[in-house]
Structure 1
Amino acid sequence: MTQNLADTSRPSRTATDAASAAADAGRGWWRDAVIYQVYPRSFADANGDGMGDLPGVRSRLPYLRDLGVDAVWLSPFYASPQADAGYDVADYRAVDPMFGTLLDADGLIRDAHELGLRIIVDLVPNHSSDQHEWFQRALREGPGSALRDRYHFRAGQGVDGELPPNDWESIFGGPAWTRTTDPDGTPGDWYLHLFAPEQPDFDWDHPAVADEFRSILRFWLDMGVDGFRVDVAHGLVKAPGLPDLGTHDQLKLLGNDVMPFFDQDGVHEIYRSWRRILQEYPGQRIAVAEAWTPTVERTANYVRPDELHQAFNFQYLGTSWDAAELRAVIDSSLAAMRPVDAPATWVLSNHDVTRHATRFANPPGGTQIRERGDRELGLRRARAATLLMLALPGSAYLYQGEELGLPDVTDLPDEVRQDPSFFRANGQDGFRDGCRVPLPWSGTSAPYGFGPAEGGPSWLPQPAEWAELSVEAQTGDPTSTLELYRSALAVRRTHAALGAGREVDWLPAPEGVLAFRREDFTCLVNTTAQPVRFTAPGTLLLASTDLTVVDGETVLAPDSTSWWAA
C-alpha cells in the first residue's frame, strides 16, 4: 500500500505557537531532557568485588556524555541493609560502603558537571529501612515511644490483637503488616509496610517526618545534585483511619487502581513545600515523580506549576506495540499535561519492569514477562519504539543497557535471585532481577569489563551471548543498537523541531502505521508485520532498520521507525 505523505498540507504555525515554542526553549532544561538511569550495582564495578559502585559510575561518565544524554539519574546508593536493593534506607545522608563514600559521591557530581551532565539522585520518602535509627528506637522503647508516631504502629484486631489492623496487602505479597515483640518479650503492636517487612512506612501526618525530608533535600542540594527522582511518590499519604479494602483487588500494581494507600490528595501539599525548596537553589533543580496512578489525568496533578517538574508516563510504558493504542496514549498524555503546562515524560524501561526488548518479543501482557520470546522481533520493535519515543514532545528516560539492546535474562537460577518479591507469594512477579544483570562493556568473557579483572565476579551472572552486545563490540558498527542511540540523540540535540513542545500533527496513514509531523520533521512508524510503501516526505535523517526503494517508492519495513526532514 502506498501512502503519499508529501501531499498532506502542513498546518500553518501561528504567532502564538511560535511564542510558546520560544518560551519552552528557555524555560527549563528538563522539558526536553534525555535522562539516563544508572542502577549503580549493575553499571560498573571499580574495585572488583562484583558489585557496581560510585567510582565505577564516575569512570564511565565520559561514555554517557558521548552517548548524548543530558542528565544521569542514580538509583539509591545510601547506607542500607540492602533488603530491597537499597530502597530500604538506613541513613539518607550516608553512602553505603558497598558503593563508596560521600567523597566519591561529591567527586562524581563534580565530574558530571564538568562534562556537562546533570545528576539526579533517588529519594525514598515513603518508607525507611527497619534499621533506621528512628525505627530501631521505636522498637527498643516499646509502646508509648514518641518515635512510633513517625511510622504506622497500630494495635491488632482479635481477642489478643493477633490479627493485622486491616486487610491491606504488601505490593511484594503477603500482609502489609508485621507484628512486633515488646521489650518484655510479649507480642506487641503491628507496623505497616506496603513493601517488604524491612521497609516500614513513614507516617507523613507527623511533622517530624516532613521536617526530616526537607533537611535531606537540602543536604543533597548543597552537595550539588540537580534533582531528585521521588520513589513511590503517590504513596506517602494514607486515607484517614486506614480503612479496609474488603473484596477490592489489592494487587493492581502500584496504584493502577483507586487505593486508600496510594494517590491520596494530601501528597500534593508535600510536593508544594519541596518545590519551594528547589526554587531556592540556582541552576533549575528539579524533581520527578514515580507516581503510578489510575489515569494520566491523575498523573498530571503531580506536575502542576507549584509541585514537581516531571512524572513518569507509566501508561505509555505499559502500552502494547500497536499503532492505535500508542496514538491513544500519546494523545491522552499530551492533553493531560497541557493544562498544567508540564512536559510529557516518556519511558520504556526501568529497573522494576521487563526491558522493552523482551516485552515486545512476547505477546502483549503487562510489564513483567518471564519468557525470552522472539529475540529478533523484540529487538526490532524495541529499536523502533525508541525512535518513536525520542521523536515525541517532552522529556525521555533511558534505562542503562537499553542502548545496547539488552534483553531481560529470563533464565536466572533461583539460587542467585535477590528480588525480595521473588521470595514472597501473591505480590509482584518477583522477576525484576532479569532487568538488573550487570552491563557488558568489553571482552569476550564475563564479567565483560563490568569489573577490572577477566573472570571476576558479578552479583548476578551475565549470559555468554552478551559478549556480542558489549559497548566494545557495538561501537563503530553502523547497524548496532548502540550506534542507533548515539545517532538518534545527536539528531535530537541538533534538530530544532525535536524535544520540548506540546503537540504532534498527525498525518493520514494506513492501519497499523503512525505518521506525525513536528514543524519540518516527520516521524513514520510501522507497527505491522508487513512492509508499507510510501512517498518519502523529505530527506531521511535516521531509520531503525534499512529502508529500500521499489519503483521510486520508499518501503517502510515491518516494525520500524524512520525520521525525515522536509
Structure 2
Amino acid sequence: MADIQPPPAWLADAVMYQIYPQTYADTDGDGIGDLPGVLHRLEYLEWLGVDTVWLSPLFASPFADAGYDVSDYRTVAPRYGTNHDLATLVEEARSRGIRVMLDLVAGHTSDQHAWFRASADDPGDDRYIWADTTEAPSPAWVPSPGTRPGYYLPNFYPVQPALNFGYARPDPAEPWRQPVDAPGPRANRAALREIMAYWFDRGVAGFRVDMAFSLVKDDPDRSATAALWRETRAWMDETYPDRALLSEWGDPKTSVPAGIHADFFLHFVGRPLRSLWGNAQGSHNPVWGEDPCFFGPDGDGSMREFLEAWREADTAIAGAGYVALPTANHDFSRLVCGTRTRDMVAPAFAFQLTWPSLPVIYYGDEIGMRYLPGLPSKEGSQLGDEARQGSRTPMQWDDGPNAGFSTAAEEDLYLPLDPAVDRPSVAAQRADDTSLLHQVRALIRLRREHRELGTHGPVEVLNSGYPLVYTRGDSYLVAVNPSGRPETCTLRDVTVGPALLARGVEAHPDGTITTEPFSYGVFRLAP
C-alpha cells in the first residue's frame, strides 16, 4: 500500500450521520423531505456533535429504487430542491464544521439515463453489458427497450442496467464479457471520475459508494475491482487529497487496501455486524432466523465473530484507512427493533463511540426511533422477504402534527409515522437531560475530548463476555453490559480510576466491575 497516501486527517476524528433525505425534514409540504429541510436542521446536527453528514441518493431519478436508479448524476432531483440548494447546504454546513458526503451509485444507472437510452439504440455502444442474442442468457437479463437487439444485464432491479466495467475472466461462450481495459469500461471509469470531480469542485467532502464491490463482473477475489479503485484513489490522492470514499463493500480487509478510505461492516456480508446488533426481528426476518446477537437483551450472544473479523480487518488495513461501524442504515433494521426497546440501546452507542472504528449514526437512532414492521412497500423498499421500509420512516422532531416532519396531510407522507403514543422526539429528548439523545451527545463529546477513545488509540479486550470490558490505550477503560441481567467481572493488574461517564457501572478497588442491566461506563485508568 506504499503508493496510497494516508487518509485525509479529518476522517480519523469523524463522527458520521446518515440522512435519508426523503424522510428527514420537509419544508414545502409535499410529504417528502428536501434539502432546505436538512439546512434548517443543521443547528441540531451541530448541537449533537456530528461533523460529517452522508446524504442518501438525491440525484434526478424515476425513483423505482428510492433514488438508487440515477437518471442524471449532475442534477439534484426536483423533489429535494435544486443544485443551488445543495451548494447552500454544503456551504452552511461547512460554516458549522460539518462536511457533506453524497451517495454515488457507481455500478448502474436508471434505464431512463441518457447513456442507457443511447446504448439501447446503438449496437456499437459498450457502456452497458449487452448480449446480442435471441434468447436471454439467464432469467436476470432484460430485453432491450430500444432498436438494439438482445438483452442487457441489470445490477439489482430490471430498471437498473449495469454499467460495463468489464469482466475479470473471459469466457468464449459469452462474448459480451469484455476485458476491463476495453473501450466501454475505460469510458465508464473516466465518467466516474468526472462525476466525482464535478461535486468535489462544489465542496462535497466525499462519497459513500453504493455496491462498490460489484463493478467488475465475475471477479471472485475482487482483485480487478480493487485495481479499479486503486486507480481512482491514485487520482484522488493527486487531485483531491482531502476528499474521502466510504464504501458499501462490507469487507474492509479487502476494500481499504484497494484504495477505499473506509468500509462498513455490513449486514449482508457475513455475521460480524449481525453478531453485534442483529436483524432477525426486523427487516430481514425470517431471512436470518433467530441467531442471537451480543447487544440483545437476552444476553446470549457472543463477541467472538465480531472480534475475529475486526482483528483480521485491522491487520490488513495497517493504518491505511478505517472500519466503519453503523448503528443501522436504510437497508436494515434500526437498533430499536423487536424486543430491544429504546431503553436498552445506550450500551450499543457506548460501544460504537469508544471502539477504534468510524462511527456512523443512522438518523433517528440517536433518539431511539424504532423499526416499524408491516409498512407498505415504497419505491422498491420491499425486496422479497426484506422489508427495508421499516427503517425509512419520517424523522420525529417534536410532538406536533406529523411529528414536525411535514405540514402535508398524513396520507401524503412518504411513509407512515410511528403511531405509538410514546414515540420519541428530538424536542422531548433535548428537554430531558437523562434521555438517550443526551447520552449519545455526551458520548460523542467524550470521544472528541479524549482522542484515544477514537481511531487513534489501541484497543485490548479484557473480558469478551458480559460485561464487555476493554481498554483504549494506556488511559481509558470501557465496560458495557447490553443484557437485561446484572453482570460482574474481576480484572487483574488493572487499577481503574474515576468515571468520565457512567450509567449503572461501578469499578471497585479490588478490580471488580459491577454492572446493572443495559449499562455502560467509561473510566480513566490509574497511572
Shared fold, TM over 0.5: yes
Deviation at 1:72, TM superposition (A): 0.5
TM-score (norm 2): 0.83
Tell me whether 1:558 sits opposite 2:517 in the alignment. yes
Q: Secondary structure in 2 aligned to 1:212?
A: helix
Is the alpha carbon distance of 1:324 and 1:31 closer, same or farther for their aligned partners in structure 2, counting shifts above 3 Å? farther
TM-score (norm 1): 0.77
Does the aligned pair in 2 maintain the 1:353–1:432 contact within 8 Å? yes
CA distance in 2, matches of 1:289, 1:307: 10
Is the alpha carbon distance of 1:176 and 1:502 closer, same or farther for their aligned partners in structure 2, counting shifts above 3 Å? farther
Q: Larger deviation: 472-481 or 40-49?
A: 472-481
What are the residue-to-residue correspondences of 1:247-258 with 2, within 5 Å? Answer: none
Q: Which residue of 344, 347, 357 corresponds with 1:384?
A: 347
Counterpart residue number, 1:231: 210
* Structure 2: gaps spanning 5 or more residues: 1-5, 167-183, 277-292, 295-299
CA distance in 1, matches of 2:197, 2:44: 29
CA distance in 2, matches of 1:27, 1:45: 33
Higher helix fraction (1 or 2): 1
CA distance in 2, matches of 1:204, 1:32: 34
Tell me whether 1:194 sits opposite 2:155 in the alignment. yes
Q: Secondary structure in 1 aligned to 2:234?
A: helix
Deviation at 1:406, TM superposition (A): 0.8
What whole-Å deviation, never above 9, does each CA across 1:110-150 have from its counterpart, x for those lacking one?
011100011111111110000000111222x25x2x22x11
Does the aligned pair in 2 maintain the 1:451–1:457 contact within 8 Å? no
Counterpart residue number, 1:338: 315
Counterpart residue number, 1:499: 454
Q: Secondary structure in 1 aligned to 2:50?
A: coil
Q: Secondary structure in 2 aligned to 1:398?
A: strand
CA distance in 2, matches of 1:64, 1:466: 25
Q: Which residue of 137, 142, 156 corresponds with 1:165?
A: 137
Deviation at 1:154, TM superposition (A): 0.7
Does the aligned pair in 1 maintain the 2:345–2:482 contact within 8 Å? no
CA distance in 1, matches of 2:384, 2:480: 32
Deviation at 1:211, TM superposition (A): 1.3
Is the alpha carbon distance of 1:418 and 1:472 closer, same or farther for their aligned partners in structure 2, counting shifts above 3 Å? same
Tell me whether 1:474 sits opposite 2:429 in the alignment. yes
CA distance in 1, matches of 2:427, 2:504: 23
Q: Which residue of 438, 446, 449 corresponds with 1:483?
A: 438
Deviation at 1:452, TM superposition (A): 4.4
Is the alpha carbon distance of 1:270 and 1:551 closer, same or farther for their aligned partners in structure 2, counting shifts above 3 Å? closer
Q: Secondary structure in 1 aligned to 2:223?
A: coil
Does the aligned pair in 2 maintain the 1:93–1:216 contact within 8 Å? yes
Is the alpha carbon distance of 1:57 and 1:313 closer, same or farther for their aligned partners in structure 2, counting shifts above 3 Å? same
Deviation at 1:70, TM superposition (A): 1.7
Q: Which residue of 255, 258, 263 corresponds with 1:311?
A: 263
When the two structures are aligned, how many residues end up with a matched partner?
A: 470
CA distance in 2, matches of 1:529, 1:231: 36
What are the residue-to-residue correspondences of 1:319-398 with 2, within 5 Å? Answer: 319-320=275-276, 321-322=293-294, 325-340=302-317, 341=319, 342-358=321-337, 373-374=338-339, 377-398=340-361
What whole-Å deviation, never above 9, does each CA across 1:141-198 have from its counterpart, x for those lacking one?
25x2x22x11111144xxxx34x213xxxxxxxx4211125539xxx41111121111
Is the alpha carbon distance of 1:538 and 1:331 closer, same or farther for their aligned partners in structure 2, counting shifts above 3 Å? farther
CA distance in 2, matches of 1:488, 1:354: 22
CA distance in 2, matches of 1:550, 1:493: 27
Counterpart residue number, 2:228: 270
Tell me whether 1:430 sits opposite 2:386 in the alignment. yes
Is the alpha carbon distance of 1:281 and 1:183 closer, same or farther for their aligned partners in structure 2, counting shifts above 3 Å? closer
Tell me whether 1:291 sits opposite 2:262 in the alignment. no
What whole-Å deviation, never above 9, does each CA across 1:274-331 have from its counterpart, x for those lacking one?
2123224466211011103xxx4xx322112x71110111254221432873244234
Tell me whether 1:177 sits opposite 2:141 in the alignment. yes
Deviation at 1:271, TM superposition (A): 1.1
What whole-Å deviation, never above 9, does each CA across 1:334-357 have from its counterpart, x for those lacking one?
342234323222123011101122
Does the aligned pair in 1 maintain the 2:334–2:365 contact within 8 Å? yes
CA distance in 2, matches of 1:523, 1:493: 16
Q: Secondary structure in 2 aligned to 1:564?
A: strand
Please report the RMSD computed on the Cα atoms of aligned residues, expressed in angstroms. Answer: 2.7
Q: Which residue of 493, 496, 503 corresponds with 1:537?
A: 496
Does the aligned pair in 2 maintain the 1:419–1:430 contact within 8 Å? no
Q: Secondary structure in 1 aligned to 2:420?
A: helix
Counterpart residue number, 2:398: 442
Q: Which residue of 50, 63, 70 corresponds with 1:89?
A: 70
Report sequence identity in percent: 34
Counterpart code for 1:379: R
Deviation at 1:546, TM superposition (A): 3.8
CA distance in 2, matches of 1:452, 1:182: 42
* Structure 1: gaps spanning 5 or more residues: 1-23, 167-174, 240-259, 359-372
Does the aligned pair in 2 maintain the 1:176–1:195 contact within 8 Å? no
